[in-house]
Amino acid sequence: MAVPVRNEEERIAACLKAIDAQEGLEPGRLGLVLFLNNCTDGTEALVSALVPTLSIPVRVLSEDFSGAHAGWARRRAMDAAAAWLGDAGNTGIILSTDADSRVPPNWVARNRAAIRAGADAVAGRVELDAAEAALLPPSLPARGRLEDLYDALITEAEARIDPDPHDPWPCHRTAIGATLAVTRSAYLAVGGMPEIPLGEDGAFIARLLEHGLRVRHATDVCVTISARLAGRAPGGVADTIRSRCEEPDALCDARMETFPRAVRRYAWRRRFRRMHDRGLLARNEAWARAIGIAPVEARRIAALPLGQAIAEAERLSPDLAYRPIGPRQLPDQIRIARLGVAALRLGFGLLGFARRIAGSAASGRPVADPRGSRI
């Protein structure tokens, strides 16, 4: 397991005790790398005192670097874990969490179960510490509940329109360093954790998918994270919480588009995937013209592996640029999404009916349910 640590004297003890309390593991199957970087408080002394009390082997690394950032620190921690696993036979799983997080007793076991079931990597969910979240402005948890509801609806729509056999519904789309697991071989195959200042966790999951590796977004893997307003990583969870306290109308995450636009994206991916699998992308470039991609780029994309081809097409297409909604749009989009997802669950004309129900709901017109009622 790999944990980057910076100035966490208030939370590192709870983090380490939670890691040490893992259940369902054979002795000697779990080791911990702590990468202390740029610590200026009492974290290092506290870690030195705590490590001898733990039941698992721990390797503590320490480094000061003026150019430190979240991606650099997480990569250094995970690279050290990969090297340790290599010493033990070149196999195994690298898990990552944060020093201000608390993993549940079944965290390692559930990640291992998902990988044994066929995943190359596991992305878990997170929940804010309840006591800390209770101190936030009431509008923030209320917005969070709406975002979680809408996110679940569009994720289900995606899973039904463009299903991934390795990541079936129920699933989610969270990608956060507080709960990641990846096989050592998959980690090395994609060149490790991206060494970028912000969003290294999401970029890592995207990189795995682009390389055709199997990522399970497991709903039964959940970690408690801090709801503090002053974090250690610029642009991290703490900054997001603080910015939304200061700017309540800040846009939602990029993938939270209007429901009709989300359905269109998932339908496009489904069609693109099928064309790629049949070798049709290079034979007919009408798909590229339809989304505003130049012929020379279309030919380059057609030659890429599927995951990379999808990522490049969405990056280059002006029609597929993400257009996130604001929090005030959430109630209406949730209402539309509920209707559309209900149609997908029933299987009535799949995409066509979902599009029609979304369009009618958006315009305020009732739409006929194939069973004879009005929605």
Residue 370 has pLDDT above 80, yes or no: no
Q: Which pLDDT value is given to residue 18?
A: 98
Q: Which pLDDT value is given to residue 87?
A: 80
CB within 8 Å of 13: residues ≥ 6 apart? 46, 50
Poorest-pLDDT segment among 34-38, 114-118, 212-216, 228-232:
228-232
* 302 in the same domain as 165: no
* 291 in the same domain as 156: no
Domain that residue 275 falls in: 259-351
Residue type, 270: R
Is 364 inside any structural domain?
no
Q: Which pLDDT value is given to residue 367?
A: 43
Q: Which pLDDT value is given to residue 366?
A: 47
Query: For the residues 238-248, what does the mean pLDDT come to?
Result: 77
* 197 in the same domain as 296: no
Domain boundary among 199, 222, 246: 246
Residue 44 has pLDDT above 90, yes or no: yes
Residue 326 has pLDDT above 90, yes or no: yes
Q: Which pLDDT value is given to residue 347?
A: 83
Is 359 inside any structural domain?
no
* 271 in the same domain as 212: no
pLDDT confidence bin for 369, thresholds 50/70/90: very low
What does the pLDDT look like over 63-85, one tens digit per residue? 999 999 999 999 999 999 999 99
pLDDT confidence bin for 256, thresholds 50/70/90: very high
Q: Which pLDDT value is given to residue 368?
A: 42
What does the pLDDT look like over 86-118, one tens digit per residue? 987 668 999 999 999 999 999 999 999 999 999
Q: Is the four-CA dihedral 63, 64, 66, 69 of positive or negative sign?
A: positive
Is 16 inside any structural domain?
yes
Is 361 inside any structural domain?
no
Q: Which pLDDT value is given to residue 375?
A: 32
Share of the chain above pLDDT 70, in %: 89
C-beta contacts of 229-236 below 8 A and 24+ residues apart:
231/100, 232/6, 232/7, 232/8, 232/100, 233/69, 233/70, 233/198, 234/69, 234/70, 234/197, 234/198, 235/70, 235/197, 235/198, 235/199, 236/70, 236/198
What does the pLDDT look like over 157-190, one tens digit per residue? 999 999 999 999 999 999 999 999 999 999 999 9
Q: What rounded mean pLDDT belongs to the chain? A: 91
Q: Which pLDDT value is given to residue 365?
A: 54
Is 13 inside any structural domain?
yes
Q: What's 182's domain CATH number?
A: 3.90.550.10
Q: Residue 60 in 3-state DSSP?
A: strand
